[in-house]
Amino acid sequence: MCGRYAASADLDELIEEFDVELDRHEEPSRSVLVNPQHPPAGTPDWNMAPTKQGPVVLTRAVDGVPVRQLRLLTWGLVPAWAEDASVGARMINARAESVAEKPAYGKALRARRALVPAAGWYEWQLSPTATDAKGKPRKQPFYVRRGDGASLAMAGLYEFWRDKRVTDPDDPNAWLVSFAVLTTAAEPGLDRIHDRQPLILERTDWERWLAPEVTDVEEIADLLTYAAPGRFEAYPVSRDVSSNRNNGPHLIDPAPEAELVGVVDPTTSEIIG
């Protein structure tokens, strides 16, 4: 997964689709961005990039009772033991095959699992025949979404990081809450675009994935290897998505065939352009 997805649903839609019991997206939360996020966090974003805040669904106890919540968290997991928050930019994804053994993710896997809603995600395909101005393989972005039109529920992990420079623990800037998306091997067809894809969970598995009382990795091991080929459709889109300055629904429009150069069709393996 190359690090971009479309979080284009309204929060009200996510609250209904993901059976959210408590909406906490308006609570003050620390951001790692130097400039204001655009579009603003919590509004539809067709080019969600690392270090931005995005909607995440998780379950945490409220007065001792587990409650499914919607929050805005920073993409790029910062481990609790990190010296500073800058490491999060390099930890946007975690490989499902080895996540349990990684010090940065192991505790979160056992205690802080989440769902990251998305309309779809982007991958960049390296052309086997065309090169760019620097002589490197030309990169063509693709958009991948569910064929049935439903939202994606990407398996995620989240973590709390305490900034020791902020002395007041009740100050919203004292804590950074961040997340990572789990990835797995790309399924047949999608592997013609990229060798990895996000781990997408089905609605029937959401409750078990989110359950805070499930702390034994063996109880969710089958979800880490979950695969159901044929759920997704992929098509090339404008190269405008390659710049995180660009945003809007036009980014997921199919690219005209006349713009394609050396692009491999993921369904037929035919080279277009």
% of the chain exceeding 90 in pLDDT: 95
Which pair of structure tokens corresponds to residue 270?
């035919």
3-state secondary structure of 85: helix
pLDDT of residue 225: 95
CATH number at residue 228: 3.90.1680.10
Give the lowest-confidence range in 64-78, 159-173, 250-264.
Answer: 159-173
Strand partners, 61: 66
Q: With respect to residue 134, please indicate whether it lies within any of the assigned structural domains.
A: no
Helix (H, G, I), strand (E, B) or coil at 156: strand
pLDDT digits (tens, 9 = 90+) for 8-37: 999 999 999 999 999 999 998 899 999 999
Buried b / exposed e along 17-27 (16+ C-beta atoms within 10 A): ebebeeeebee
Residue 183 domain flag: yes
Q: Are strands 65-75 and 53-62 parallel, antiparallel or unpaired?
A: antiparallel
Whether 263 has a pLDDT exceeding 80, the answer reads: yes
Q: Give the mean model confidence (pLDDT) for residues 97-102.
A: 96
- For residue 87, being part of any structural domain is answered with yes
Cα separation, 165 vs 149, in Å, equals: 45
pLDDT of residue 45: 98
Structural domain contains residue 37: yes
Rounded to the nearest integer, the mean pLDDT of the chain is 96
Mean pLDDT of 119-123: 98
pLDDT (tens digit per residue) in 186-244: 999 999 999 999 999 999 999 999 999 999 999 999 999 999 999 999 999 999 999 99
- Does residue 159 sit within a domain? yes
Tell me the CA end-to-end span of the chain in Å, nearest whole number.
25
User: Residue 141's beta-bridge partner residues?
Assistant: 124
Q: Is-contact 197 187, C-beta < 8 A?
A: yes
pLDDT recorded at residue 232? 97
Q: Give the structural domain span for 177.
A: 5-121+149-233
Q: Is residue 255 part of a domain?
A: no
Does residue 259 fall inside a structural domain?
no
Strand ranges, E, within 186-259: 196-198, 232-236
| pLDDT at position 1 | 65
Is the pLDDT reported for residue 62 higher than 90?
yes
Domain count, the chain: 1
The structure's pTM equals 0.96
Whether 247 is covered by a domain: the verdict is no
**Average pLDDT of span 78-97:** 95
Among 159, 158, 185, 229, smallest CA distance to 95 is for: 185
Which pair of tokens denotes residue 7? 């979080």
Q: Where are the alpha helices (DSSP H) in 33-149?
A: 106-111
